[in-house]
Structure 1
Amino acid sequence: MLNENALNAFLALAKTGSFQDAARMIGVSNASLTRYILQAETETGLKLFNRSRNNSKLTREGQEYLGVAQDLKSDLERYLRRVAGLGDTNGGVLRIGCGPLTTRTLILPALTKVREEMPDQRFEVLVSAYARPLDLLQNDQLDIFVGDLTYTPEADDVEILVMERRPVAFMAHPAHEIHGRGPQSLNDLFEFPFASPHLHKHWKATLTKALGGDAGAAKKVAALPQIESDDYAFLTALLDWPDFIVGGMREAFTEMLASKTVKEVDVATPPFWNICASRKPNDGSAALNLFWSKLAGFDATNQ
């Protein structure tokens, strides 16, 4: 097995293609980097790079070995993290990634239930409209992700729990003129200023199709949203204005609906979110396994 220096050198050179840039990336001299690359090739018995005066490119064998090296790096980081957590009386930090629409509907209830059984457990909740959340799981940057996976291709070595398929709700100020127009199509709705979290490629394609699928629809969707933010406190504040429409899960607007400071727009055919939980299988702490079981319980309740 490669030692850590040789492994880091290989991955850095594979990424940059430049000895100078790779050496700078891992904080060693060019001579040390050269020595580590030779160690990697000696220990693997493979020629990993084709070297030229200006760059170094992976050979076919190097390209095949890259995945092995990335897995080894992930395993090493996981090992170091687990060793570091052995002396942590709080059980380490559970890193939860989630989309903006799930914080109140799923994350908060599950977190509350876990804390009832593990009151000393620490949590880090990272809220963002992640473009490739499964990559973050596979690279051990997150322990669990809860959010919309509609646009995400299937990935190996990831366990996925489909929570629910939910319609998107659209809200506006009670005085907004759209409320007097009866059931609205998406085309009608997007005639008004619109605010939402980031719209990924999948959502832009979905909305383009819903608006007719022609060049005019594509142009209209390309300009959406007029205001983009993953912070729902900010988005809901926009509803103080009488012209904006904000999209999201209905639960994000519970208090505002109860106080009648916003009103739900009547949309004839709303789009749907596919809410899923995902994690790496057979690789969980007690806190992760408990959090997962609570989410699975919510799933059973929703069926």
Structure 2
Amino acid sequence: MSQDGSVNLFVCVVEEGSFSAAARVLGVAPSSVARQIQQLEQALGARLFQRTTRKQSLTEAGELYYRHARRAAEELEAARRGIARMTGAPAGVLTVTAEADLAVALISPLLPAFLQEYPEVKVRLLLSSALSDLVDGRIDLAVRMGQLKDSSLVARKLFESRSQLCASPAYVKAHGRPAHPLDLAGHQCLSFRTSAGRTHWRFATPDGPCEVPVSGPVQANGLEFLKSLAISGCGIAMLPEWIAGKELERGGLVALLDGFPSLPAGTPVSAVYAERRQLEPKTRAFVDFLAARLAGR
């Protein structure tokens, strides 16, 4: 193993918290990580980790080595980025954060083609609903739904997300089909919320916008979860078309209130990154790739 490789592997083990977690990030077997750490310890003549059956922690020598190794890894990464900018070839670890629903429905199906097109890029995907500090978190890119509020970030819109009210055929058969948004007051509604409280759905009507308070057996902050409940007949859900589209085509869900479009008419889904004079090739390649394949959804 090269000196650069041993430094990066050691830093990865420390920051991921375990040999197995580092192995998943690096795409190697945990036994390989353990073997390389053992070789590093032998080369240094010191034990770096205190390992038990339940946990792993740094020794005093490990703490000292990590402080220097972290700086060395950052310098090596800065050098690699500089060379990548010079050559223009997308390469290195691309760290992306996205909400779980966006990652599963939109990013996961596209990743194999991206990795095949850019074999020198490795993707590290963090599933989070929070817009993490991209700079301090060393995150290259976030994929988010909604308007951008932080002026220090740049957002490139990938597509416009539109929502559809839907339920299962079994629910419609048992409870009837609402004819007007106000009818939803008498239905079991499955609402998306990130905190406790009452949910309101808004619709466009011939008489102007109509806001309806809805309630039902479940509130959740996961769209895929709400979709599965709707399919099982638990109630009516307001879902993005990119979540519900396949089930609407298959008949697992049926569209409701087609004559009353939900408001807002569309919500941007964007690639968000820290403002820089020039994006790294790996980041630009991924943003361009997503924009090309998600346009027109």
Aligned to 1:175, what secondary structure does the other structure show? helix
C-alpha spacing 1:159/1:117, structure 2 compared with 1 (3 Å): same
Q: Distance in 1 between matches of 2:160 and 2:257?
A: 19
Matched residue, 1:269: 261
Q: Distance in 1 between matches of 2:185 and 2:94?
A: 39
Give the TM-score of the pair, scaled to structure 1: 0.54
Please say if 1:147 is aligned against 2:144. yes
- Structure 2 unaligned spans of 5+: 1-69, 82-89
Give a deviation string over 1:133-178, Cα, whole Å, max 9, x none.
2x5224335321112132x42422x221122333212221112238
Please say if 1:229 is aligned against 2:224. no
For the Cα contact (< 8 Å) 2:203–2:262, is it kept in 1?
no
For the Cα contact (< 8 Å) 1:99–1:146, is it kept in 2?
yes
- Which amino acid counterpart does residue 76 of structure 2 have in structure 1? V
Q: Distance in 2 between matches of 1:173 and 1:153?
A: 36
C-alpha spacing 1:257/1:180, structure 2 compared with 1 (3 Å): same
Aligned to 2:134, what secondary structure does the other structure show? helix
Aligned-residue CA RMSD (Å): 4.2
C-alpha spacing 1:211/1:258, structure 2 compared with 1 (3 Å): closer
- Structure 1 unaligned spans of 5+: 1-76
Task: Give the share of equivalent positions with the same residue, in percent.
Answer: 17
C-alpha spacing 1:165/1:112, structure 2 compared with 1 (3 Å): same
Which of the residues 258, 264, 282 maps onto 1:287?
Answer: 282
1:263: Cα distance to partner?
A: 1.5
Q: Distance in 2 between matches of 1:247 and 1:78?
A: 48
1:91: Cα distance to partner?
A: 4.6
Q: Distance in 2 between matches of 1:196 and 1:82?
A: 47
Matched residue, 2:99: 99
Q: Distance in 1 between matches of 2:289 and 2:253?
A: 32
Give the TM-score of the pair, scaled to structure 2: 0.55
For the Cα contact (< 8 Å) 1:114–1:287, is it kept in 2?
no
- Which amino acid counterpart does residue 171 of structure 1 have in structure 2? C
C-alpha spacing 1:273/1:262, structure 2 compared with 1 (3 Å): same
Matched residue, 2:76: 83
Q: Distance in 2 between matches of 1:279 and 1:87?
A: 20
Q: Distance in 1 between matches of 2:216 and 2:73?
A: 43
C-alpha spacing 1:261/1:181, structure 2 compared with 1 (3 Å): closer
For the Cα contact (< 8 Å) 1:101–1:248, is it kept in 2?
no
For the Cα contact (< 8 Å) 1:106–1:295, is it kept in 2?
no
For the Cα contact (< 8 Å) 1:137–1:280, is it kept in 2?
yes
For the Cα contact (< 8 Å) 1:96–1:143, is it kept in 2?
yes
Please say if 1:251 is aligned against 2:260. no
For the Cα contact (< 8 Å) 2:96–2:142, is it kept in 1?
yes
- Which amino acid counterpart does residue 269 of structure 1 have in structure 2? P
Which of the residues 239, 243, 246 maps onto 2:230?
Answer: 239
- Which amino acid counterpart does residue 145 of structure 1 have in structure 2? A
Alignment of 1:3-14 (within 5 A): none
